[in-house]
Structure 1
Amino acid sequence: MNGKITSFFLVLICFTSCLEPYDVNITDYEDLLVVDALITDEQINHRVYLSRSIPNLDEIPQRESNALVIITDQNNEEEVLTEIEPGVYETDKEQFVPIIGGTYTLTIRTSRGIVYQSTPCTLLPKIDIDNVSFKAGKEWNSDETMELQGLNILVDGVASEGNYLRWLYEEDWQFKTPFPTRMAYDFEIDDWVYITPINHTCWKEDAANSVVIHSFANQNAATIKDKKVCFVPSKETDKLTVRYSILVKQLCISKEEYEFWNKLKVTTDDVGDVFGVQPFSIVGNIKNINDDKEPVLGYFQTGSVDSERIYIDRSDVTNLGLPVFSRYYNCSVDSFKYEDFPDQTPLEIYNKFVLSGVYNLNDAIYDEDTGAMVGFLLARPICSDCTLTGTSEKPDFWED
């Protein structure tokens, strides 16, 4: 969960008409409950995040632990959530499966004995995505000093007159280090050996924090074509260097919700980030049942999800004539020849620079005439170990 008060806006999958934002003066409240709660028709462990508000964005919010968190459906069946870590409460996907058309209410009893409750929220039907595609495009950087080249991720679809849509996306990408460890010293055989490159290929992930919405109100045709969901710069990031995947999620929202997100979008356009400001004046559908004047920062959201995942390879990017981020930028291998360390053995040099963690061994240096090993090619860890910025564990969904 984001370490700022605006964290409750993260990972909003699909809203219902239960959201009723309104303005309120909260200057007299310095310790407010912050709720980030979402359930969908996906068979997953849904989570509710609870914390307390902070007066300064540089501070770390206090997690709201030891609370009793319950979700009740239209039949008064209750799901009691389990606290899996401080302030994080989770449903059991085997026991709790929200259904389209179902109505759900969130109740929170804090360790202080204060009870908060949401308005009942109905899980609305989803609207299917027709197609997700990509095209070459351009976009200005955040301070509008440079026009960037890259890919526009686009969505096509058909809705009904009066529908309101919002899109979120999750990005995952594969990348490789330019100078991985290819050699090591085998103490059992007392010799240098070549090995399968270590920590050469990794993955990273990122989630949307922007507001992408669309209204079909007062439109004759409820179709959408080439709706821009996001822009991926090709030269300024390593996302497109090997293989990139994006999961686009299409959300059906109400008019009230659309107006809320539109208001938030207008508020944050100058900042360029939905988390760049603190929307203290926007309050959701959760109240203190004994004191409705106490603001609660956060929302209980329910909804269904339609999603589509696509993959984009480096060749797809270069075939469009787009520049690609250089994996070798600011990376190089340094030569360490034995002759430069006359008082040390090769193994002592290896211990001093490699086993100490200062460098990683990329390869050996060989004499052109004799073929004898005369030194090392060493690379800084950031240029040889992909786990420093990513994970070597392939995502479960990943397709090669």
Structure 2
Amino acid sequence: MRKYLTIGIALLIGSCVDPYRPPEVSAPNTYLVVDGFLNATGGSTIRLSRTQNLSESKKPTIETKATVKVEGEKGGSQTFVDQGDGTYTLAAGGLQFNQKYRLSIKTAVGRSYASDYVTVKQTPKIDNVSWQAQNQGVQFQVTTHDPTNNTKYYRWEYEETWEFYSAYYSSVDYLNKQFVSRAENINHCWRTEKSTGIFVASSVKLTEDVINKFPLVFVSNSSSNRLKIRYSLLVRQSALTAEAFEYWQNLRKNTESLGSIFDPQPFQVIGNIHGVTDPNEPVVGYLSGYSVEEQRIFVSPTQLPSTWRIPSGYESCVPDTVLLAPPAPDLSAAEMAGAGWIPIEGYLSPQGILIAYLMGSPTCIDCRTAGVNVKPGFW
């Protein structure tokens, strides 16, 4: 009896729970997304796109042929150059510290948007980007301060770049249905990834405007090959206003919440860009103005604990020997190369005749599947 009761309850639960799909998931509206900032010491870039439904898998639609201007509170304006791909750029030199500016946008269909006026802040220099080896990897930290005690609010972004080698060195290429000597090294690469998290901190509650060893990225010594050969971290620092800090703090809470009932519940993050044509139209984004300070550091394996065994990422790669003329139904080396396999090196018979090639999959041989084989200029 208990068995049938359990089955009955399961069927009842399964038949009574309907999936809830909020109207926003399938809403037909697409809202303007404004991404970028006003750079006081370099060129400024603004990216315009449109929101999309959660159920869509395609890339967001870019907003082209818009007119984007920066306007000073005391008068004057400058027009961004439309790059044709949803990005709009402004050359350096036209913005001043401690002055207020706003962004004005008019789309190709004639809808207008404008940001609040924002003060352009000067960012203090980074004192130090440091790292500390821990049990499971390396923790990177940033230290900074403002001797004038005027900054108080900080934000950081970073770029990771690391060097790596594929599992095998390929000296042979397959071009025009022929095996030839390889002209390009596809064994040695570099990969760069940008930060996706939100990193902000404030010194408001401190007696001095100092941020000491704020934790940024943690790099594992067992689940990644980042530290295997050589690793570099570029940290970018910017000064925020109190309003911008609150925006990024709220956005961080929304995006990083685990979603349990005990966590802060998601809420709408209000930016400082508004619809002019329709004041009730939501706009996604927040405009700030500041200078950017950078610092780059490198970490080599000789600096890390000698007991660490950092993976290469290619531990499961096993090449295969493929004959030029195998017995049926096996595929020949040419057929395997035509199907995408990459030759590594040739095998000769005792008589010195080429009879086979050692071959492997692109993910094991061609490092360009995970990076680029062009050495960065800073390396």
- When residues 240 and 197 of structure 1 are mapped into structure 2, their CA distance, relative to the original with a 3 A threshold, is farther
Q: 2:164 aligns with which of 164, 175, 187?
A: 175
Q: 1:266 aligns with which of 247, 253, 256?
A: 253
Which protein has greater RCO, CA pairs closer than 8 Å, 6+ apart? 1
164-173 or 193-202, larger mean C-alpha shift:
193-202
Residue number in structure 2 paired with 1:332: 318
- When residues 308 and 77 of structure 1 are mapped into structure 2, their CA distance, relative to the original with a 3 A threshold, is same
Superimposed CA distance per residue, residues 238-285 of structure 1 (whole angstroms, 9 cap, x where no aligned partner): 32222221111122122222233222333333349xxxxx97711211
Matched, 1:381 2:362: yes
Q: Shift of the alpha carbon at 1:162? A: 7.0
Report SS of the residue matched to 1:387: helix
Tell me, in whole angstroms, the C-alpha distance in 1 between the residues paired with 2:303 and 2:112: 54
| 1:128 partner amino acid | K
User: Where do residues 350-389 of structure 1 align in structure 2 (5 Å cutoff)?
Assistant: 350-354=333-337, 356-366=338-348, 373-389=354-370
| 2:370 partner amino acid | T
CA RMSD of aligned residues (A): 3.3
Report SS of the residue matched to 1:198: coil
Tell me, in whole angstroms, the C-alpha distance in 2 between the residues paired with 1:253 and 1:57: 34
Q: 1:52 aligns with which of 50, 53, 56?
A: 50
Superimposed CA distance per residue, residues 343-395 of structure 1 (whole angstroms, 9 cap, x where no aligned partner): 99xxx9442222x143111112345x666544221111111111222222333
TM-score (norm 1): 0.76
User: Where do residues 12-27 of structure 1 align in structure 2 (5 Å cutoff)?
Assistant: none
Tell me, in whole angstroms, the C-alpha distance in 2 between the residues paired with 1:50 and 1:299: 12
- 8 Å CA contact 2:244, 2:288 repeated in 1: no
Q: Shift of the alpha carbon at 1:207? A: 1.1
| 2:159 partner amino acid | E
Q: 1:313 aligns with which of 300, 308, 311?
A: 300
Matched, 1:293 2:280: yes
- When residues 57 and 232 of structure 1 are mapped into structure 2, their CA distance, relative to the original with a 3 A threshold, is farther
Report SS of the residue matched to 1:299: coil
Q: Shift of the alpha carbon at 1:52? A: 2.4
Tell me, in whole angstroms, the C-alpha distance in 1 between the residues paired with 2:106 and 2:245: 30
Residue number in structure 2 paired with 1:105: 102
Q: 1:158 aligns with which of 145, 154, 157?
A: 145
Tell me, in whole angstroms, the C-alpha distance in 1 between the residues paired with 2:143 and 2:320: 50
Residue number in structure 2 paired with 1:66: 65
- When residues 195 and 131 of structure 1 are mapped into structure 2, their CA distance, relative to the original with a 3 A threshold, is same
- When residues 73 and 117 of structure 1 are mapped into structure 2, their CA distance, relative to the original with a 3 A threshold, is same
Residue number in structure 1 paired with 2:262: none
Tell me, in whole angstroms, the C-alpha distance in 2 between the residues paired with 1:322 and 1:270: 33
Q: Shift of the alpha carbon at 1:57? A: 5.2
| 1:352 partner amino acid | E
- 8 Å CA contact 1:82, 1:90 repeated in 2: yes
Q: 2:114 aligns with which of 94, 114, 117?
A: 117
Superimposed CA distance per residue, residues 29-52 of structure 1 (whole angstroms, 9 cap, x where no aligned partner): 9332221131213433x3222222
| 1:301 partner amino acid | S
Paired residue total: 347
Question: 5+ unaligned residues in a row in structure 2: which ranges?
Answer: 1-23, 260-264
Fraction of identical pairs, as percent: 25
Tell me, in whole angstroms, the C-alpha distance in 2 between the residues paired with 1:185 and 1:112: 51
Tell me, in whole angstroms, the C-alpha distance in 2 between the residues paired with 1:372 and 1:92: 62
- 8 Å CA contact 1:71, 1:105 repeated in 2: yes
Tell me, in whole angstroms, the C-alpha distance in 1 between the residues paired with 2:29 and 2:329: 65
